Amino acid sequence: MGSVNAQEPLSVLEDALRGGITCFQLREKGARALVGMEKKAFAESCQRLCAQYGVPFIVNDDVDLAVEINADGVHIGQDDAEARFVRKRIGPGKILGVSVHSIEETEAAISAGANYVGMGPVYPTVTKDDAKPVAGTAMIEEVARLYPDLPIVGIGGITAANAEPVFRAGASGVSVISAIASSANPEMAAKRLEEVSLKWRRER
């Protein structure tokens, strides 16, 4: 949610919280991303909002920032700090999420102490420049079969209209950016996603 004007992303976040999102990850990166004190202040504003709604606040990549502001967790990819070091740094009580694309990476994430894995891109996405090739749901299905207790979060091009196959494959949740942030009505977009998710939790 990088932006020059920090007001707008905060209002999108509040709409999304009102709509029922159950977790928020701050992904402040890209050409116009905030840095330093501005990034920290923005992160703390997001954190406060999430706390008001009782929603976990997770920081992407920036372990130092997460520790400094006592975030609820950290999410890292395969090119970031090593998961076991991040787990050591944040302690056992915090949430650690790791992006994985294979069984080997999943195994490594579990033994490093990941609480969940992110898997994708399920569908084509325009949001992440360096996204891996579209993966569909096959690997989610395989990981879910091998590790039935591991929470899997699908990501990449997911909307309320195409989320069902992701849950059907075994994901416990879906992670979205554009479906909410680029919606004319972020609250409604979040609500629709939550409805799909609830339906799958009931049916499973």
Q: Is 177 in the site for ligand TZP (CB under 6 A)?
A: yes
Here's the x/- map for Mg ion, 23-62, by CB under 5 A: it reads as: --------------------------------------x-
Partner from ligand TZP, Mg ion, none binding residue 61, C-beta < 5-8 Å depending on class = Mg ion
Rounded Cα–Cα distance for residues 13 and 32 (Å): 19
Q: Is 176 in the site for ligand TZP (CB under 6 A)?
A: yes
Place of tokens 């909410």: 180
Burial 71-91 (b: 16+ CB within 10 A, else e): bbbbbbbeebeebeebbeebe
Q: Is 157 in the site for ligand TZP (CB under 6 A)?
A: yes
Partner from ligand TZP, Mg ion, none binding residue 157, C-beta < 5-8 Å depending on class = ligand TZP
Q: Is 170 in the site for ligand TZP (CB under 6 A)?
A: no
Q: Half-sphere exposure (CA, 13 Å, Cβ side) for 109? A: 29
Rounded Cα–Cα distance for residues 191 and 43 (Å): 24
Instruction: Output 198-201 pairs: Cβ under 8 A, ≥24 positions apart.
Output: 200/164, 200/167, 200/168
Instruction: Give yes or no for a contact between 154 and 186, defined as CB atoms under 8 angstroms apart.
Output: no
Applying CB under 6 A, among 19, 120, 173, 186 the residue interacting with ligand TZP is: 120
| Annotated binding-site ranges | 25-29, 60-61, 80, 99, 125-128, 157, 177-178
Task: Give the binding site for Mg ion (CB under 5 A).
Answer: 61, 77, 80
| Annotated binding-site ranges for Mg(2+) | 61, 80
